[in-house]
Chains A and B, each alone.
Chain A
């Protein structure tokens, strides 16, 4: 049985851990608020962009000269998975759930005889994916040194992705990230970004406005489509960021509570043992006195 001193040390160490998890929870909570604000600030731009592209694209999609980013390469052979995860752990199932979704997707594609390539954004996803898909990973970007997530980061990723697309390295690209629904609920999401999936306008939306284009429709579309990729990636990164802090906050809240429970149990055992020792010593003294 552990001595009283050992028990005291163990309780102290659990208390220290609890302090750390508590601090991490509070840091995550304050960062979450900022991340959530950033994600919300980016939303109008992405939505407007989608609306403008949807308007132009629905007219252009049928024409034979439509850009490949919109119409696709006409093949469905090589799939690129752009997996966005966090840079750090200690956030519950946040990273694993994104990786699991990507893994299932990749395995079902491989099962269909398709080729899969993986583009990792974030260290944690890379670490988990390289165990199974080491050969499929073509590129990794770490955002570890980035303090404030800016649009330039997304542009950087988009440029690398588009360079590969232009080189004919893949036909379809799917983006994996975690959508921030609420602090306790983050939904791992797969979104196809190349070729672009345009949502059909609602039936009751009325006739679409007929626009004039300046310069031509094609020029606008060719400059807008790559931009849209960057915007979608930016949105994914921001949602991911907010999800990460949400997940971390919940995880650390749980950890703090578990540590509290553990301290309570350990203290109970400690006190009981201490009491038993005192009783034992008393018995020894009394029986010693009686013998005399």
Chain B
């Protein structure tokens, strides 16, 4: 299977860099998979899980928003925060979600809408993490 270059960078570090078979990305308008030879796309990312497939093995990375760029040179994901699922502290994540929920009350208008949307994304990450952990 043809491979392509994939870089996952966050402001603080390079979270992943190498040749891969497939990457599944949580776009704001729905998830999409990227294979070698994908058409050039720039897509915004919602908080979610990026799945990297390489030689039959899967690796999951939690990203909290950002942007993905597919060009003829490969795929680049500029993530706001990128944490490998293995490194993610579930308890701390739950705490973040709880504190976001608590802050909802103080927000209003479009800010509230955005906060609710973001919280939904976080909760869906949490749920996905829990279901994968059971397997």
Question: With the chains together, A154 CA to B12 CA distance in Å?
Answer: 12
Question: A159: CB under 8 A from chain B?
Answer: no
Q: Report the stretch among A165-173, A213-221, A252-260, A275-283 that lies at the interface.
A: A213-221
Q: Which residues of B contact A46 (CB under 8 A)?
A: 11
- Contact indicator per residue, chain A 150-170, by CB within 8 Å of chain B (1) or not (0): 110010000000000000000
> Does any Cβ of A come within 8 Å of B113's Cβ?
no
Contact digits for A205-228, partner B, Cβ 8 Å, 1 yes 0 no? 000011111110001100110010
Q: B8 to nearest A CB, angstroms?
A: 10
Contact present for B11 and A42 (CB under 8 Å): yes
**A211 to B40 Cα, complex, angstroms:** 5
Judge whether A231 is part of the interface by a CB distance below 8 angstroms: yes
Q: How far is the CA of A213 from the CA of B69 in the complex (A)?
A: 10
Q: How many A-B contacts if CB must be within 8 Å?
A: 70
Count contacts on B: residues with CB < 8 A to the other chain: 23
B11 lies within 8 A of A214 (CB): no
Residues of A within 8 A of B72 (CB): 209
Contact: A45 with B10, CB < 8 Å? yes
Closest Cβ–Cβ distance, residue B50 to chain A (whole Å): 16
Q: How far is the CA of A232 from the CA of B43 in the complex (A)?
A: 21
A150/B9 in contact, CB under 8 A: no
Instruction: Count A-side interface residues using an 8 Å CB cutoff.
Output: 28
A52 to B40, CA, bound (A): 12
Residue of B nearest to A224 (CB): B67
Does any Cβ of A come within 8 Å of B61's Cβ?
no
Chain B residues with CB under 8 Å of chain A are 7, 9-14, 27-29, 39-44, 67, 69, 71-72, 76, 78, 80
Supply 4 further A-B pairs (C-beta < 8 A) apart from A44-B9, A212-B41, A213-B43: A52-B69, A55-B42, A212-B39, A215-B44
List 28 contacting pairs A-B, 8 Å CB cutoff, sorted by A.
A38-B12, A42-B11, A42-B12, A44-B9, A44-B14, A45-B10, A45-B78, A48-B7, A52-B78, A55-B42, A151-B10, A209-B72, A210-B40, A211-B41, A211-B69, A212-B39, A213-B41, A214-B29, A214-B43, A214-B44, A215-B44, A220-B43, A220-B44, A220-B67, A223-B44, A223-B67, A231-B11, A234-B11
